[in-house]
C-alpha cells in the first residue's frame, strides 16, 4: 500500500543543496497548440472544491468545453453553470458508467474528488477512502484519456499522486510529464501570511515552497524571499503555512475544509497549464511531480517550481 511515508525521512545534505541550487526543475511536457480552445474535465465536480473550481474554469476564456463528472448532482451543477455567458460549453455526467464519455478527448483532467477533512483529521487520515476513489478514476483515465494532462487535488496529494502513477504504469501509459499534484495553495498561503505579517502587498511576496503537501513535508523557503524575518517569525510562519488547512477546518466547525481557496489554487494551476499548452513561455508553477533530482536520494516525487512547456531537464 502506498502512503505518504515516502516523505517521512530526513533529507540528505546533498538533496538540500540540490534543491537550494536549483531555481526550477525544467520539466518537459508535450505542447499542444490550443487554437479552438481546450476541453477540460473536473472529476468530483459536485463536491466542495469541485463546484467553485468548475465556476472558475467556466470563466476561463481558454476553455471551449467543460466536462463535469461526479457520482451525484452533476446535471444540476452543469445546468447552473451553463447559464453563465462565457465561452465554455458545460456538460454534466453522472455515475461511473459515464466516466469514459466525460473524459474522452480531454486536454486537461482535474481531480478534486474525495471526502473532505473534518476537525481533528490530517490529510493523511483521508488516505483509505480517497485512495480508492482516485485509483478508480485513474483507471478510467488510463483507458479513455491516456494523453491528457492530469492534475490531482484529492488529498493526501503525497499519496494520491504516486497511486495514480502506479495505475498508469500498470496500463503502460505513465508519462511523468503529464502528472501533477496541485500544491499551489501552499504558495498562495505563504505569500498571504508573509505579506500580512510584514505589511506588504501579496503580489510582491514570492515564497518558494518545496517538499510535499501535508504537514511537515511542506517546506517554505523563507530565507530565500529577501525579506528580513526573525527566527521566531520564521518558525511561526512555517508552522502556519504547514497547517493552514487546519485553521480553515476548525473555523468551519466541521462544515468543511479549505474548499474556496483550494478551488482558486486549482484554477490558477489549470490556467497556467493552458497558457503553456497554448505556446506561452516562462510559465512557472509549484507542483508535486516525479523528480529525477530527488530520486537519487530515495524520494520519487517532490514539490518544487516547475516550468511548464517544452524544455529539457536541468
DSSP per-residue letters across 222-279: GGGS-----HHHHHHHHHHHHTHHHHHHHHTTTS--SHHHHHHHHHHHHHHHHHHHTT
CA–CA separation, 213 and 285 (whole Å): 14
> Within a 10 A sphere around the Cβ of 72, how many other Cβ atoms?
11
Residue 48 assigned ligand-binding role: yes
Q: Which of 26, 83, 171, 213 does the annotation list as catalytic? A: 213
Give the number of residues written for the chain: 314
Residue 130 assigned ligand-binding role: yes
Residue 47 assigned ligand-binding role: yes
CA–CA separation, 268 and 272 (whole Å): 6
Residue 113 assigned ligand-binding role: no
Residue 155 assigned ligand-binding role: yes
Residue 45 assigned ligand-binding role: yes
**Nearest to residue 174, comparing CAs of 162, 191, 190?**
162
Residue 46 assigned ligand-binding role: yes
Burial 18-29 (b: 16+ CB within 10 A, else e): bbeeeeebbbeb
Residue 44 assigned ligand-binding role: yes
The answer to whether 26 is a known catalytic residue is no
Residue 154 assigned ligand-binding role: yes
Residues belonging to the binding site are 44-50, 70, 117, 123, 130, 153-155, 189, 262
Residues belonging to the binding site for substrate are 117, 123, 155, 189
Residues belonging to the binding site for NAD(+) are 44-50, 70, 130, 153-155, 262
Residues belonging to the active site: 213
Amino acid at each position: 500500500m502506498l502512503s505518504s511515508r515516502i516523505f517521512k525521512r530526513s533529507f540528505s545534505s546533498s538533496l538540500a543543496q540540490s534543491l537550494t541550487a536549483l531555481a526550477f526543475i525544467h520539466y518537459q511536457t508535450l505542447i499542444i497548440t490550443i487554437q479552438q480552445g481546450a476541453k477540460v474535465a473536473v472529476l468530483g465536480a459536485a463536491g466542495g472544491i469541485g463546484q467553485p473550481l468548475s465556476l472558475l474554469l467556466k470563466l476561463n476564456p481558454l476553455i471551449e468545453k467543460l466536462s463535469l463528472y461526479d457520482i451525484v448532482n452533476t446535471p444540476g451543477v452543469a445546468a447552473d453553470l451553463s447559464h453563465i455567458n462565457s465561452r465554455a460549453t458545460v456538460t454534466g455526467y453522472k455515475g461511473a458508467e459515464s466516466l469514459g464519455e466525460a473524459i474522452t478527448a480531454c486536454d486537461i483532467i482535474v481531480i478534486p474528488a474525495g471526502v473532505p477533512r473534518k476537525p481533528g483529521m490530517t490529510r493523511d487520515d483521508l488516505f483509505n477512502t480517497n485512495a480508492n476513489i482516485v485509483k478508480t478514476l485513474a483507471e478510467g483515465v488510463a483507458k479513455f484519456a491516456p494523453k491528457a494532462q492530469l492534475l490531482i487535488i484529492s488529498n493526501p496529494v503525497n499519496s494520491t499522486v504516486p497511486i495514480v502513477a502506479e495505475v498508469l504504469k500498470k496500463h503502460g501509459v505513465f508519462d511523468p510529464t503529464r502528472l501533477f499534484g496541485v500544491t499551489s495553495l501552499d504558495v498562495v498561503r505563504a505569500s498571504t501570511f508573509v505579506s500580512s505579517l510584514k505589511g506588504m502587498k501579496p503580489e510582491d511576496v514570492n515564497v518558494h515552497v518545496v517538499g510535499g503537501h501535508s504537514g511537515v513535508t511542506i517546506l517554505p523557503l523563507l530565507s530565500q524571499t529577501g525579506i528580513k524575518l526573525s527566527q521566531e517569525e520564521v518558525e511561526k510562519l512555517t508552522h502556519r503555512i504547514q497547517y493552514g488547512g487546519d485553521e480553515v477546518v476548525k473555523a468551519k466547525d466541521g462544515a468543511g475544509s479549505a474548499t474556496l481557496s483550494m478551488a482558486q489554487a486549482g484554477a490558477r494551476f489549470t490556467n497556467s497549464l493552458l497558457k503553456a499548452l497554448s505556446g506561452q513561455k516562462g510559465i512557472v508553477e509549484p507542483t508535486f511531480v516525479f523528480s529525477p533530482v530527488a530520486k537519487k536520494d530515495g524520494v520519487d516525487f517532490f514539490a518544487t517550481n516547475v516550468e511548464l512547456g517544452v524544455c529539457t531537464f536541468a
